[in-house]
Structure 1
């Protein structure tokens, strides 16, 4: 897949299920989420397109513990030696110490989408999910070092119990994890939530940041005017 340049220092690698983002750091790269198991070769090939070597990856940030976000993290750690950063609440799931608790119910629209995703994944042969250690557990209000500008960690539960988002207020970039998706130029509440009420509250918290750029894991990035796109969103009505 072709890389999409989002800003001067951010790129999206669009993948069939779960996009990966690269951020150029002061001394290398950060990778945000890792897509499904078996995606490491594509991630490393994209890194090479950016002029990076595996050892240049300093951080792998996991926004949450679903397999289409942490799926290739173990392989990438082995290839790069990078540190893994993830929300404290989801860290035990990522390590394999506790099971992932699935959503209790789907709306009809979510069920149809879920069946389509399963059918698409069933057409491919994915390796098994590998759990891995988390080097740094992140909490609401934490900041990340080495990015060349402030990076704020936000705890935004609802999709899972431990979702985090990353906000770069100077450049106006927001990485919302799966709290926000896009489709057809619209911002949507991400589907398949453990707690829809919490997810809606997290959506509104992120929308209130008025970001300029939105880097979603599902859908196309919003390269400018993301605040207006989020103001026009109707998350309460999504997936019903």
Structure 2
């Protein structure tokens, strides 16, 4: 696995089919998303590559409950004693209290999902120690502002780091061949598109999507040009 510095203090961890991001701030490390089940050793290897240890992982932030993003949350929280943070609307799904809603697939998405999720195991239920709402500031994550971006899932969140010009989008946005697109597999496609438009209104230089490569220049313009290649967005 290549650990890629996106901006100083922020690294991309490509974990199988999904991305995670490590933010190394003054009070330790925050992991944004965890990859699919079984990603614990890869996260440990990434920490080691950066000269960090397990105990340096201070918190885990989940952008949404899907197995490829929250799949290793229970494992990582158990050995790092790291609290898990999730959007209020997805917290019950992460905990396993109730099943989360299934995506409403387009025909193109159905074929894609059959390929990319063929070997994806279900995530174990994970504790959620902090439920966050729109506008809440996570001071430990570079003064990140939580943005509620419902649509991909009911409680999807993004993190905006205005001092750094960075946006971590979760699956509201994906990147394909250098372009920003609406992330596929949405519970509410119209809601996801509206959330993408909200993100496109931010003044950001860098966008870190849940799938694909980070957009490291003129990200705001790239978000404004985003398309929906798998369906018909409103």
* Alignment TM-score, normalising by the size of structure 1: 0.93
CA distance in structure 1 between the partners assigned to 2:115 and 2:231 by the alignment: 15
Select the residue among 129, 133, 137 that pairs with 1:135: 129
CA distance in structure 2 between the partners assigned to 1:152 and 1:76 by the alignment: 24
Aligned residue number for residue 231 of structure 2:
239
Q: How many residues align?
A: 232
CA contact (8 A) 1:85 1:134 kept: yes
CA distance in structure 1 between the partners assigned to 2:158 and 2:223 by the alignment: 15
Higher-strand-fraction structure? 2
CA contact (8 A) 2:106 2:230 kept: no
Aligned residue number for residue 186 of structure 1:
179
Q: Does 1:214 align with 2:213?
A: no
CA distance in structure 2 between the partners assigned to 1:219 and 1:205 by the alignment: 20
Q: Does 1:203 align with 2:203?
A: no
Structure 2 residues not aligned, in runs of 5+:
none
- Once the two structures are TM-superposed, the CA of residue 16 in structure 1 deviates from its matched residue by 2.2
CA-based RMSD of the aligned residues comes to: 1.3
What does the per-residue CA deviation read over 1:46-84, in whole Å, with 9 as the maximum and x for residues that have no partner?
A: 011111111111110000110111100111011211111
What does the per-residue CA deviation read over 1:175-202, in whole Å, with 9 as the maximum and x for residues that have no partner?
A: 1110000000000000010111100100
Select the residue among 129, 137, 145 that pairs with 2:139: 145
Q: Does 1:174 align with 2:173?
A: no
Q: Does 1:159 align with 2:158?
A: no
SS at the partner of 2:138? Answer: coil
Aligned residue number for residue 52 of structure 1:
52
- Once the two structures are TM-superposed, the CA of residue 150 in structure 1 deviates from its matched residue by 2.1
What does the per-residue CA deviation read over 1:134-186, in whole Å, with 9 as the maximum and x for residues that have no partner?
A: 11100001000223x42100110000011011000111100111000000000
What does the per-residue CA deviation read over 1:187-238, in whole Å, with 9 as the maximum and x for residues that have no partner?
A: 0000010111100100000111031111111001111211121122223x54
CA contact (8 A) 1:207 1:230 kept: yes
CA distance in structure 2 between the partners assigned to 1:233 and 1:63 by the alignment: 20
* Alignment TM-score, normalising by the size of structure 2: 0.95
Q: Does 1:20 align with 2:20?
A: yes
SS at the partner of 2:94? Answer: helix
CA contact (8 A) 1:28 1:52 kept: no
CA contact (8 A) 2:35 2:68 kept: yes
Aligned residue number for residue 91 of structure 2:
91
CA contact (8 A) 1:62 1:87 kept: yes
CA distance in structure 1 between the partners assigned to 2:12 and 2:52 by the alignment: 15
Aligned residue number for residue 3 of structure 1:
3
Structure 1 residues not aligned, in runs of 5+:
none
CA distance in structure 2 between the partners assigned to 1:163 and 1:169 by the alignment: 19
SS at the partner of 2:22? Answer: strand
SS at the partner of 1:176? Answer: strand
